[in-house]
Amino acid sequence: MIVTDHDEPRDAGRIPAGLPADASLRRVPLACNEELLMLIVPLPDGNDGESAPNPVRITETVTAWAAEVDPRDFTSLPVITVPLYGCHVVWKPGQAAVVGPVSRLELLTTALSDFASCEGELRQLEQRCVDLVATVEEDAPHAFEFEGRAVSRRGTLASRFREAVAVRGRLAVLAPAAHAPPVHPPTLASQLGERLRDRTRLAERHEFAVDRAELAERLYEACGQRISEFGIAQRQMALEWAIVVLLVIQTALLVVDLLSRGAAT
Amino acid sequence: MSAWLADSSGKLPRVAIVGGGPGGLFTAWHLEQRTAVPLSLTIFEATARLGGKVCTASFASADIQYEAGAAELYDYSPVDVDPLRELVQQLGLPTVAIGGSAVFVAGRSIANLDDLGDVGGASARREFANFDIRSRSAMTPADFYESGSDHAGDAVAAGRFEPALDGIGCGKARRYVDVMIHSDLATEAGETSCGYGLQNYLMNDPAYMQLYRIPGGNEQLMQAVAGRLAADVRLNAAVTAVGTGPNGALQLQFRSGERHLVEDFDTVILALPMDALKRVRFTDTALADAMRQHVEHHDHPAHYLRVSVLLDRPVPVLPGDDAYVMLDAFGGTCLYVESACDPCATNGVLGWLIGGTAAVEMASLTDDALVATVLDSLPPPLAICRDRVMEARVHRWTNAVSALPGGWSRLPVDRRHRPSRAHSRFFVVGDYLYDSTLNGVLDSAEHVAGWVVAEHASGPGTMLMDRDRATMEALQ
């Protein structure tokens, strides 16, 4: 799911002090139209990272880096740290650090980007669900009865229904990634994905989002039905009035005809 | 009131359960839950505590608990209904999922296919993947779930497990699998069946089964069950003999303190592990013959040693945040970081589960020698714990479980639980009849309890159901 990536030049304090010289920063564009700022710290291969120069201090440094640098205002998710068999991954929305043997970095960054894309899209959908649910109380009366004075809101309700269906559609596409069963036999990438999914409660969040989108969809579907019924009723009323007018005209003509016949005789 | 009760001159049906371990307690639980008529239920336990192999003990130097017996419970709910999981929920006990992927071979952690590829190259990775595919093809999650029942398919194949392992063409991949499953098997691959071996490999796949424990100790399950029983529980009452009394009732001889007592019962259920079952004397010839055959069929002992160590500070986080790792020491050992699930732990607790031949050989060592030996097996991430030991405890569970539950050929479930056709109210319950798990012993208890309740409700002379009669005739 990585579209492209490019190395960030090692500049102006972006990489925290105390990390190995070959540590680098990358800005990885994600499929969810966000960007992941990734700090990559290679360790020498072998012995599960034990031979690296003070791996404990390195992991502490990158964790502090992730906790301090906050390019966006994401407050709902804390910094998540995942120790993973000689590797160490720190993640929060928009920002991540990977510490591990050189031979594992490509696997880890790919898995991390996949997860970040999935989480990013879910987070966006969650926000759209929040926006939808915020209008539910306001629009709920229209799901029971649609009145003439609300005709001007018809377009708004229709667009909200389309939004609810679109959100549900995206959530359905996301479902296999959010609810993927653990892989066996595991790979390092699958283990990282599973732990991140677990720690960020991706499956539960997805279910809550689906519930919210479903609520909005049901509401606006009912609104659509009431609007449709209102339109039919309006047309029926116009037809009835036309019939009444025609009957009145017919009666008037009949009266005129009778009067003219009476005058002639 | 049923006809049976009317014939008993107003006396309640007397049911004796011999054994206060999981089998006995679960049987009593199901009997009390299911019966529509009052029963006089008595549980005989030879020791001073209930719970058997589900044993949570405390260290002396700090009020910190450790699992001295069963370290984890198995959750089959990913496949189908899990009665044990439901019972735990029904009793209101909290649970926490546990897991672990790392297998330490020659000091090197292998936690995934990438690690295996690093250690053994592409051939190890390929051979292991092929073994995994063969195993899963031979036993689906549904086969795994049904493995103890009469519906079990051919997947639970006869034949030894060793040839299946020999099919792994790469030595390093073979060693990895050996170490991964050895402590769960509690025996050597040549001593058990292909079906049971595959179960113990496939239990590592979350699609087949998951693991959990009860925070505060797994023994809480046994205490919660025991606390809800109305049965008469007799501790320190060791049953020595079972026979038929002069009035036709089943007769128990038991020792209570210094006294030797005899008591009659309408129904007797032996819920004993195999080594205890072998010590019971059967005074009735037909019953003795039937039980001799039963023991011969099911006696495939497996062994455990549990060594638990209290540390003066929390254990360093394991790679991958695992709750346990597998070590290649002692043929394959599971090392639990029991304090891993408690973020507020002030001390660390490590628990070794040594199984199979190594457990028998090491059982003769003194506690101090055992502790010193296991501490030498600590993997690199935990080696620092060697100097932090405050206290150590050893529990020997030799002959405590079955290496071949169900025997080489599985008998029909009814026949497993009622060894003597002539003694229609004599039953046995045990994990060795199913799969050597707590889930298995619960299934066994449920089967017998349902049978007993149905028979007591339907009256005397109807004990042999048509289904059972047909089975017996087919077997003869």
- CB A30 within 8 Å of CB A1: yes
Average pLDDT by consecutive 10-residue portion of chain A (265 residues)? 43 68 89 89 66 70 76 64 88 90 91 94 94 89 81 88 95 93 91 93 96 93 90 93 96 94 83
Query: Would you call A187 an interface residue with chain B, using a CB distance cutoff of 8 Å?
Result: yes
Tell whether A132 and A240 lie within a shared domain.
yes
pLDDT band at B350; cut points 50, 70, 90: very high
Residues B24, B222 contacting (CB under 8 angstroms): no
Same domain, A243 and A144: yes
Tell me if A150 is assigned to some domain. yes
How many helical (H) and strand (E) elements, i.e. helices and strands, does chain B have? 16, 21
**pLDDT for residue B155 is more than 60:** no
Q: Is the CB of residue A181 less than 8 Å away from at least one CB of chain B?
A: yes
Same domain, residue pair A80 and A48: yes
User: Has residue B468 got a pLDDT over 70?
Assistant: no
Residue of B nearest to A198 (CA): B97
Overall residue count recorded for chain A in this entry: 265
pLDDT at position B45:
97
Cis ω before A185 (30° cut-off from 0): yes
Please judge whether A188 and B114 are an interchain contact, meaning their C-beta atoms are less than 8 angstroms apart: yes
**Could you please report the per-residue DSSP string of B350-390?**
EEEEEETHHHHHHHTS-HHHHHHHHHTT--GGGGGGGGGEE
Both A149 and A68 in a single domain?
A: no
CATH classification of B3-54+218-299+405-475 is 3.40.50.300, yes or no?
Answer: no
Which has more confidence, A72 or B319? B319
Antiparallel, parallel or unpaired: β B14-18 and B40-44: parallel
Kindly provide the residue ranges of all beta strands, DSSP E only, lying in B403-463, ordered along the sequence.
Answer: 426-428
Residue A212 lies in a domain: yes
Helices (H), B189-280: 194-202, 219-227, 274-277
Other CB atoms closer than 10 Å to residue A259's CB: what's the count?
A: 10
Of A112, A146, A167, the residue that ends a domain is: A112
The class level of CATH for B56-215+301-402 reads alpha beta
Interval B184-200: pLDDT, tens: 888 998 889 898 999 99
More confident residue, A63 or B91: B91
Given a contact cutoff of 8 angstroms between Cβ atoms, the answer to whether B447 and B455 are in contact is no
Indicate if A106 and A126 belong to the same structural domain: no
A190 touches chain B (CB under 8 A): yes
- pLDDT for position B316: 75
What was the pLDDT predicted at B345?
Answer: 79
Q: How far is A179 from chain B (nearest CA, A)?
A: 13
- Is the residue at A199 inside a domain? no
Label residues A171-198 b or e (16+ Cβ within 10 Å = b).
Answer: beebeebbeeebbebbbbbbbbbbbbbe
| A184 interfacial to chain B (CB closer than 8 Å) | yes
Rounded Cα–Cα distance for residues A116 and A106 (Å)? 15
Let me know: does B350 contact B377? Beta carbons within 8 Å.
Answer: no
How many Å apart are CA B375 and CA B351, to the nearest integer? Answer: 11
Confidence band of B314 (pLDDT split at 50, 70, 90): confident
- Asked if residue A79 and residue A98 are part of one domain, the reply reads yes
Q: Look at residue A1 and tell me if it is in a domain.
A: no
CATH 3.50.50.60 domain locations along chain B: 3-54+218-299+405-475, 56-215+301-402
Residue A198 in any domain: the answer is no
Phi-psi region of A125 (alpha: psi -120 to 50; beta: other; left: phi over 0): alpha
Mean pLDDT of the region B466-470: 46
Q: Considering the domain boundaries, does residue A193 fall inside one?
A: no
Structural domain boundaries enclosing A179: 120-184+204-247
* Two tokens, residue B101: 């992927």
**Same domain for A72 and A35?**
yes
| Residue contact A188–B112, C-beta within 8 A | yes
Residue A13 lies in a domain: yes
Of B32-41, B318-327, B359-368, the one with minimum mean pLDDT is B318-327
Q: Judge whether A138 lies within some domain.
A: yes
CB–CB contact B112 A103 (8 Å): no
Does residue A88 sit in the same domain as residue A129? no
Percent of chain B with pLDDT over 90: 70
Note whether A146 and A222 are same-domain residues.
yes
> CA A181, CA A178: separation in Å to the nearest integer?
9
Residues A102 and A127 in one domain: no
**Read out DSSP for A40-69?**
EEEE-SSGGGTTSS-HHHHHHHHHHHHHH-
With beta carbons under 8 A apart, name residues in chain B contacting A104: 114
Residues of A in contact with B134 (CB under 8 A): none
Domain count, chain A: 2
